[in-house]
Amino acid sequence: MESKKMSKASAVLITTLVIGTTFVGCTTGKKTGNNPFSQMASDVFDDKAKSDKVGDGSSYKDPDPLIEERVEDLLSRMTLEEKVGQMWLITSFDFGATSHQVSHMVKNTISAQ
């Protein structure tokens, strides 16, 4: 009851890259051999991302190019997991957690990858 009460009035809401270890398996190439999934999706399930370590000189961090270009550049580097992770927002009250606990949880889920 308490958490329902507070869900709307959440103290702090956090969007995060919620990419836990659970999802890492799906990103590997294991399944691609007999992958029943569509061609469209398969290109984001490969390991391209892992070999594509992003350095400081990446164009999306560079202030010069237009935002649009930077976004497209970054988008092209992202796995499905990373993309879907961007689309989530977690709320501290839904966890019934203290701010310290939330901070800890965010740290864990993000750094798990």
Partner 1 sequence: MTNSMQESAEKTRLGIPLFISANHEGGAWAKLQLYSTTGPGNMAIGATGDKEDAYQMGHIMGTELNAVGINVNFAPVYDVNCNPDNPIIGVRSFGESPDLVSMMGTSMTKGMQDAGIAACAKHFPGHGDTSIDSHTGLPIVPHNKSRLYSVELAPFQEAVDEGVDMIMTAHIIYPAFDDSGKPATLSRPILTDLLKNEMGFEGVVITDAMAMGAITKNYGSNEACVMAIQAGADIILDTINIEDRINAVKDAVRNGKISMERIDDAVSRILTLKQKLGLWDNRYVDPAKAEKIVGCAEHKEIERRVAGDSITLVKNEGIVPLRLDGNDLLVIEIIDIGGAINTLGENEGKLSKEVKDHNPNTQNIFVTQNTCDLEIKIARKLAKNAEVVIIGTQNFPAPAFHPGYEGQVKLINALLNDGNKVVVIGMRDPYDLRFFPDVNGYIATYTIRKESVSEAVNVLFGESEANGLLPVTIPDVIPYYYGYPDNRCMVKGRILDDLGKPIAGAAITMGNETSHMI
**Chain positions contacting partner 1, by CB under 8 A:** 3-20, 22-23, 26, 37-38, 40-41, 44, 49, 53-54, 60-61, 63, 67-68, 70-72, 74-75, 77-78, 80-91, 94-95, 99-100, 102-103, 106-107, 110-111, 113
Between 30 and 107, CB nearer to partner 1: 107
Least distance (Å) between residue 30 CB and partner 1: 14
Q: Look at residue 13 and give its three-state secondary structure.
A: strand
DSSP 31: G
Tokens at 19, concatenated: 């990419």
Between 30 and 71, CB nearer to partner 1: 71
| CA 47 to the chain's CA centroid | 16
Tokens at 99, concatenated: 């701010």
Least distance (Å) between residue 33 CB and partner 1: 15
Tokens at 85, concatenated: 């992770």
How far are the Cα atoms of 19, 51, 92, 110 from residue 26, in angstroms, in the given order? 11, 16, 28, 17
Least distance (Å) between residue 31 CB and partner 1: 10
Least distance (Å) between residue 82 CB and partner 1: 6
Tokens at 11, concatenated: 């103290």
